[in-house]
Amino acid sequence: MRLRASHLASTVFVMAFLMWLLTGCAPDDDPGSSIRDTRIDWPEWDQIRRVITLADYNTRIVVMGTMLLGLAAGVVGTYMLLRKRALIGDAVSHATLPGIGIAFILMVQFGGSGKYLPGLLLGATITGLIGVGFILLIKGMTRIKEDAALGIVLSVFFGLGVAVLGVIQSMQQGNAAGLESFIYGKTASMIKSDVILIASVALVVIFLSMLLYKEFAILCFDQAFARAQGWPVTLIDIVMMGLVIGVSVIGLQAVGLILMIALLIIPPAAARFWTDRLWGMLIISGAVGAMSGMLGSAFSALVPRLPAGAIIVVVAAMIFIFSMIFGWQRGMLIRAIEFMKLKRKVAHQHLFRAAYECLETQGTRGQEEPIQFSSLLEARSWSSSQLRRELVRARKKGLLDLKENGLEISLTSAGYTEAVRVVRNHRMWELYLITHADIAPSHVDRDADQIEHVLGPHMVRKLEALLVEAYGAAMPPSPHTLSVPGSGPRGSL
């Protein structure tokens, strides 16, 4: 009996503990007053309406500030991504931390409170510039690669910043509370002056990005060419780094130095799936950054327990995933569709090449001659079901006829013309590889198969012009039947 009572007590205790884990508070506590209550209170319709219409002053301030920050970060981040310096923003943002701490100490020593925001941002800018200088110095004066230089500056400056914050905590003067917001961000505490500062810096960044568009573009795509043409590559690089520092510094108050790198990388990375043009990428990247800031801060306003900086990054990540799947230039969906189209095109060409070669082996090249299903099956390394699917597709296009027994096919007039075209292009490409690329005839079929299916009409015309003197409009012979690789077409080309 005593054992059963203890077992019942332990069961009740476990159930109570599980209830506490699920509800975020003890069973007897009032959920509304317990500090352990971590449940999310979803907004009502009136709250949603007020956020959508920006009826509240604080919501307008936060949404406007984060939207402008995302716009500027998306524009300047595009150049960083194309420059293959995506992580430079991470190093710069971490390099600003010791500047914030040192600026706080100096302002306190001169009798100030230490919380003067322009002074803190000025300190962050100075150490950010020093960090960029160290990166360029390490890269230019040593054999250390740029990624290693970024890692060195990031870790050293962040460690120095943490050490300076530790010194500040032990100071008797000044109040250091709130400095940690520069690490994690504190979007909800933004005021009008912060938005004005963000808007000013964002305007300067966008203006300089557009004014120096040509210089930045040539630096991103071909630095060696820019240097050979006499462009001041180092000066342009410093200006570009200065824009990154400016955006990183003004973003400290909104999303913090840890999450700032997300706004510099994710929007341009998402824009890359939609376009190959730099202008379009700048516009899309800026729009993605602005949308991330706007939607993230608005959602955080609806659910106050969710930190705005983290939600902004999550929204940006969701836009990136959407772009990665549905982007019409490099998205996974469009690439999958193009791959399927190419796969069907390859199978189509292989079928008609095999059909023509079967007719050629039989000694007849007339379209009325029947072709055995088994001969086609032996010609390529495909299964019986794959071959039948291709035959059905070709029959639907009116290119061949299937006999009633399903063991023979015959090409229609259009199908025979298609087979001649496919085989001619294939053999011209094989002969071109043999005569101009020094590919052995025993290997040329493999190399031709890798590229012939994407030959455009312009390339086909060039190949015909090269080979017309040797074979005219007739079908070129198969290079595999040539006894001497250098004989025949080589002397004619």
pLDDT in tens, 370-423: 888 888 888 777 788 888 888 888 888 888 888 766 678 888 888 888 888 888
- Decide yes or no: CATH 3.40.50.300 for domain 331-493: no
DSSP codes joined into one string, 18-73: HHHHHHSS-TTS-TTT-TT-----PPPHHHHHHHHTT-SHHHHHHHHHHHHHHHHH
Q: Which 3 state secondary structure label does DSSP give 476?
A: coil
Distance CA 111, CA 399 (A): 90
Question: Which residues have CB under 8 Å from 368's CB, separation 6+?
Answer: 410
* 409-432: b (≥16 Cβ within 10 Å) or e: bbbbeebbebbbebbbbbbbbbbb
Q: Average pLDDT, whole number, for the chain?
A: 77
The burial class, CB within 10 Å (0-12 / 13-18 / 19+), for 233 is middle
The burial class, CB within 10 Å (0-12 / 13-18 / 19+), for 7 is exposed
Distance CA 300, CA 310 (A): 9
User: How close are the terminal C-alpha atoms of the chain, in Å?
Assistant: 104
pLDDT tens across 12-49, in order? 444 444 444 434 444 444 444 444 555 556 667 777 77
In this prediction, residues 127-154 reach a mean pLDDT of 85
Q: Report the candidate in 205, 198, 314, 306 with the shortest Cα–Cα distance to residue 259.
A: 314
Give CATH for domain 51-327. Answer: 1.10.3470.10
Amino acid at 227: R
pTM of the model: 0.74
pLDDT tens across 64-98, in order? 888 888 999 999 999 988 888 777 877 888 888 88
